[in-house]
Amino acid sequence: MMSGSGGGYTSIDNQKVSGSVPAVSGSDLPSVQFSASNLQTFPPSEAKGKISGGYQPPRDADDTFSRQGGSGSSDESQNNGWLRMFTIEAYKPFFDVDTSDVLERIKDSLFPFKGSFQEKTAENPDLYGPFWICTTLILVAAAIGAFVTYLEHKWHKKEYSYDINLVTWSFGLFYGYVLLVPLGLYLILKYFSAPSGLVQLWCLYGYSLFVFIPATCLSIVPLEIFRWMVVGIAGFMSATFISVNMRAHIVSSAGERWFLIVAGIFLLQLALAVILKLYFFTVTVTQ
């Protein structure tokens, strides 16, 4: 039987159609060969990290055109040099952590005498935890400080007006401290031939600020002596956490001057706690 429309025909050998098409035997089926699939498996089998690894993102169109024009080699060499610090790829490895990693490092920061934080983060120091800890502390300190001031004014039946400078000052204080103090310590250690990784110092100082978050929340209690105790304990824990973790490295490299460096680290961290208490939780109500 021959059937078709518009010039296209299909031949069915010795078959008669009577309401239904009979099943074709398996032996008559043609063998179909499929070519190997080029689809990429997800996730890639060669990935080695949590968000990084063997996978490399495709280059953008502009980079492709520049390489075709003959100037790609110079651009690629520049990206591998100091200009690479302005690219996202340069900082992606420092955010290669998950929730369990961050929680584990926060827990280590609450046990300052262990001194194992530097060893645990030596291979993978991160900036994700320090960024969010510092940002959270900025918001909490500004909010709790404003609320404490509000309660004091209401207690004395005085008019209260919100001070936006609490946010700007907390932003400058904590971000500036976490960025500049480790940078200064990095230069000092390099001068004394006891170099330490800058990102590792940022990681250490960032996690050292976590203890100030619960201390700031407890400072809402309207007792001046209690506030001083809470901030003092938090400052001592934070300063001890940094000093103990840096002591072993400094002693083995800086020689006899290690005590001055460690003492400076400890006192500077205590000074941060005092500034936090005086600026955010010392309320003066005008009569």
What pTM was computed for the model? Answer: 0.68
**Residue 124 domain-assigned (yes or no):** yes
Number of domains comprising the chain: 1
**Residue 287 domain-assigned (yes or no):** no
CA–CA dist 99, 287 (Å, integer): 49
pLDDT digits (tens, 9 = 90+) for 97-128: 889 989 999 999 999 998 889 888 888 899 99
Domain limits for position 176: 100-280
**Residue 56 domain-assigned (yes or no):** no
**Residue 71 domain-assigned (yes or no):** no
Give the pLDDT of the chain (287 residues) as one tens digit per residue: 444 444 444 444 444 444 444 544 544 555 545 444 444 443 444 444 454 444 344 333 334 333 334 444 444 444 555 666 667 777 777 787 889 989 999 999 999 998 889 888 888 899 999 999 999 999 999 888 888 888 877 776 777 777 777 788 888 999 999 999 999 999 988 888 777 888 999 999 999 999 999 999 998 888 889 999 999 999 999 999 999 998 877 877 766 778 888 999 999 999 999 998 888 876 555 54
CA–CA dist 92, 57 (Å, integer): 12
Which residue shows structure tokens 């046990």?
111
**Residue 53 domain-assigned (yes or no):** no
CA–CA dist 251, 263 (Å, integer): 12
**Residue 43 domain-assigned (yes or no):** no
**Residue 63 domain-assigned (yes or no):** no
**Residue 255 domain-assigned (yes or no):** yes
Q: What angle do CA 269, 272, 277 make, to 5 degrees?
A: 135
